[in-house]
Amino acid sequence: GRGIGELERLGQGGFGSVFAGYRREDRLPVRVTPQNHTPCVSTYMSDPLHPLLNSKAGPGAVVLLLDWFQLDQELLLVQERPDASVDLRAYMRSKGSTLQEQEAKVCGVVEGIQGLHSRSVLHRDIKPENLLVETGSDTPRVRIIDLGCGCLHNNEVYLEFDGTDSHIPPEWYARGAYRADPMTVWQLGVLLYEMLTGHVPFQTSTEIIWKKLPRIESDISPSETHIHTRAFIHKHAPVKLWSCLPSTRMSLTYGD
């Protein structure tokens, strides 16, 4: 359909199966992802001139959104599909990484988030499965994928949430409301914890609201318990990422 050929199932996304294929006009590899069809998403996607649909305007740390179309009751997003790539979850399991690589990946994710926010897009589901590691170069590059839970980014209070339960911030469970940037910073904290320990810090909504903030130093492997790890953790200060008060979390802007 609509210029996309030879669809092959890649896996399961948040709202259905994700497929691999190619764009018929130039044989560009693409992935087709189902999107939650909420009113705000429909309004956002109804503008075909939005910068994210212009490949020249897309942020380099985000896998480009090339097109979108509606099939029956589904809204489907078409993104580029880089060769020699694997999601961060699979990469961590098979390859591992040095602390320098982990720090570079965190910075790459922040860069991608900033690029999305500058284009009025809120991802809402930052996690290893939604981060693609390009392995075709000496320095693996991480890029954000899957806008299936995304919506418009603004400075208002959000009263609806789509995303992964273990990555939802406490203010949503406590008050049913959240703001874009503090929510994203919370998810970055969970991501950092997963990268350093291999598992999520919270399993239930009760733990997210009430559990004492985990000490990363006690959960990382013995081979990583050295001064560089402590410096890395201090630099990214989990207490500032996971503050239960959204207003006291770190800023997404460099230098703040």
- The pLDDT tens digits for 3-61 are 887 678 877 665 667 888 888 888 888 888 776 554 444 444 445 435 444 444 445 77
Tally of CA atoms within 13 A in the half-sphere of 235 that contains its CB = 16
> Active-site residue numbers?
125
- pLDDT of amino acid 159: 94
Residues of the chain with pLDDT below 50 are 38-46, 48-49, 51-58, 224-230, 254-256
* Pairwise CA distance, residues 50 & 144, whole Å: 18
Q: What is the architecture, at CATH level 2, of domain 85-248?
A: Orthogonal Bundle (1.10)
The CATH number of domain 4-80, selected from 3.20.20.70, 3.30.200.20, 3.30.465.10, 3.30.1330.10? 3.30.200.20
- pLDDT of amino acid 40: 43
For residue 234, give both structure tokens: 């201090």
- pLDDT of amino acid 237: 52
Say whether pTM exceeds 0.85: no
Q: Can you state the angle between helices 227-236 and 99-118, rounded to 10 degrees?
A: 10
For residue 146, give both structure tokens: 């899957």
pLDDT tens sequence across 238-251: 556 777 888 888 88
* Pairwise CA distance, residues 132 & 235, whole Å: 24
- pLDDT of amino acid 15: 60
- Give every CB contact of residue 96 below 8 A, 6+ residues apart in sequence: none
- pLDDT of amino acid 231: 53
Which uninterrupted H or E stretch holds 48? none
- pLDDT of amino acid 48: 44
Do the domains 4-80 and 85-248 sit in the same CATH topology, yes or no?
Answer: no
Q: Can you state the angle between helices 180-197 and 99-118, rounded to 10 degrees?
A: 160
Contact 230, 217 (CB under 8 A): yes
* Pairwise CA distance, residues 108 & 224, whole Å: 22
Q: What are the backbone angles phi and psi of residue 71, rounded to the nearest 5°?
A: -130, 115
- pLDDT of amino acid 158: 95
Q: Where are the domains of the chain?
A: 4-80, 85-248
Task: Determine the straight-line distance between the first and last CA of the chain, rounded to whole angstroms.
Answer: 46
